[in-house]
Structures are given as C-alpha cells and as structure tokens.
Chains A and B, each alone.
Chain A
Amino acid sequence: MCLAAAAAWGWNARLPLGIPWLPSPGNRVGIPRAFEKRLPEINAARALQLYEAADALFVDSRDQKDYEKDHIPGAVSLPMRKWTKAFPRKRGKLPKDRLLVLYCYGAHCGLSTRQGKALLEEGYDRLVILDYGWKTWTEAEGPTVKRPRARER
C-alpha cells in the first residue's frame, strides 16, 4: 500500500491532468488542477434564468435515446458515451463565444463533468454544469420537449 501511495503521488505530480488530493472548495471531485475554477456548477434557478433570457446554449450529455424521449427545448444532444463520434458532428453547433450549460441525468451522473473537461481541452472556456442535471430541471418544472426538432439534433 505504501508503494502504491508513493507511486500515485509521484505519477500524479507529473501528470498534465493530475488532480488535487483533496478537492478544493467550489470544485467537484476529479477536476484536474489545470481546470480548477473553470467548470463552475449552477443550480436549477440560475439555469432557468439563463434559459428565459436565452443567454446560454444547453448541451445534453445523456444518451441519444434519453434526449429523444425528453429534453430541454433548444438543447443540443452531445452524448458523452459516444463523444468520439458525436463531437466532430456537433462541433459546428457549439459556438465558443456562447455560454454552454451542460447537463446529464442527476446527482450520480458524471457525464456532464467529463464532457466539460473534454470541451475545455477543445478550447471551450465558457462552460457551466447544471448540478443534479435533468432531475433538478424537471423538479423545478423547467420547460421540456418530447421530440427533438430536426434542427436541434
């Protein structure tokens, strides 16, 4: 165990996307040191404000089938489990100068955080994560749409 801890310490110190041993305040777990403070979380009330003011583009990190069942109107589907295929196709719909609100299923879904980190690596810098994702949005009675409009897909 001591050997493993020493190896982990040495390796993490050298890794470009190494993580802090203790998550710093205001950061989710697993946020690399290089990305600290660059993936803030917002709650449903703030997300609703952004939605109503049309100030942000919502990005749905969930699987395509769940997006097709129900999603936030105007949200772009970018399924994180299919990132390698989905991102090149959706890149054109994700302007870098617009605030992107990433959401996935709920409290125990890290897909939006993983997507945030991947987008930071792609040069996107205006990102927030909707904490508790789809679950909190529906509990707050945010608007939803059942079927995707063709231009949203």
Chain B
Amino acid sequence: MAAVKRLLTHPVFLALVGIAVGQELIRASLDKIAYPDLFADIVHDYDMLPPIAINAFALIMPWTEMVAGAVLVLGMLPWLGAWRRGAGLLSTLLFAAFLIAIAQAELRGLKIECGCFDVGGMSSSQASWSLFARDIPLLLGSLLVWRKGQ
C-alpha cells in the first residue's frame, strides 16, 4: 500500500498523468474552438443550461479546456509549476461536468451528439455509457494532479 502511495505521489508519475490528461483536454478543445456555433447547438441539446447562457458557455469552455490542458502538459516547467494544481482542479471540474452531462442525457434517453471531440465533422459519437466510462480515468487523473501535485 505504501509503495502504491509512493508511486501515486511520485513527481514523475504525476507529470505523466498530467501529460496524459492534458493532451486529451487539448485534443477535445480544438474542434469546439474552431466551431463554437456547432458546439453551442450540442450544449443546447444536453438541455442543462438556460438558452441565454449557452453561447457564452460554448465560447469559454473550450478555451478553459485548452488552457488547463496546456498547463497540465507543460506542468514540468518550473515557471508553470504553481499553476499545475489549479489546472488539475479545473480539469477535475470539467470531467465531473462531462460525466454528469452524459449520464443525465443517457438517463433521459436524449439522442444527442456527445460533442466530446468532433463537433464540426458531423460524425461525432452519441453520448453513451461507454463515453461515460472513458471519462472516469481522466477524472481520477485530474483529481490526483489537483490533490497531490506540487
């Protein structure tokens, strides 16, 4: 148990987790940044936010992913070290929000696009329990960087 704890809090392991989570966030942000109008449609489909807030959310959220992802990937650099835990917190909140959004869509039977990576190509996958499962390790990784990062 002590060995597992040592591994989970080892700076190199935490840096690798940060890179793994960060690159997912960056990859996920690109299409949303390029097509905010299509992403706003998808946010609307999730039916969780009042319409008046959706455009602003669709504009800011992808850039939050991008900034948090970039800080997590570059977190080894000394001048970004202080930001890494903040990025871990942001990333935790983002993945928690994704999990809630996908779960409520599934439970309500909404036939909607996930909007996870591809919003512009009209080929994105539907919100589903498999996407929910894929986000759980990313949430745990973000939590680890937030709670144990330095």
A37 in contact (CB, < 8 A)? no
Residue-wise interface mask of A (1-43) relative to B, using a CB-CB cutoff of 8 A (1 in contact, 0 not): 1011101110110010111111100001111100000000000
A71 in contact (CB, < 8 A)? no
Question: Given A29-B40, A30-B44, do A23 and B122 touch, yes or no (CB 8 Å)?
Answer: no
Query: Which A residues have a C-beta under 8 Å from some C-beta of B?
Result: 1, 3-5, 7-9, 11-12, 15, 17-23, 28-32, 80-84, 105, 107-110, 113-114, 117
Whole-angstrom CA separation of A16 from B145 in the bound complex: 37
Contact check, B41 vs A110: say whether CB atoms are below 8 A apart.
Answer: yes
B106 in contact (CB, < 8 A)? no
Given contacts A3-B67, A19-B59, A29-B40, 15 further A-B contacts (CB under 8 A): A4-B66, A4-B67, A5-B60, A7-B63, A7-B66, A12-B59, A20-B55, A21-B55, A30-B38, A30-B44, A81-B122, A108-B46, A108-B47, A110-B42, A110-B45
Interface size class of chain B, counting residues whose CB lies under 8 Å from the partner chain: 35 or more
26 A-B residue pairings within 8 Å (CB atoms): A4-B66, A5-B60, A5-B63, A7-B63, A7-B66, A8-B60, A15-B36, A17-B35, A17-B36, A18-B36, A19-B58, A21-B55, A23-B52, A29-B40, A30-B41, A30-B58, A32-B37, A81-B113, A82-B122, A84-B122, A108-B44, A108-B47, A108-B110, A110-B42, A114-B122, A117-B37
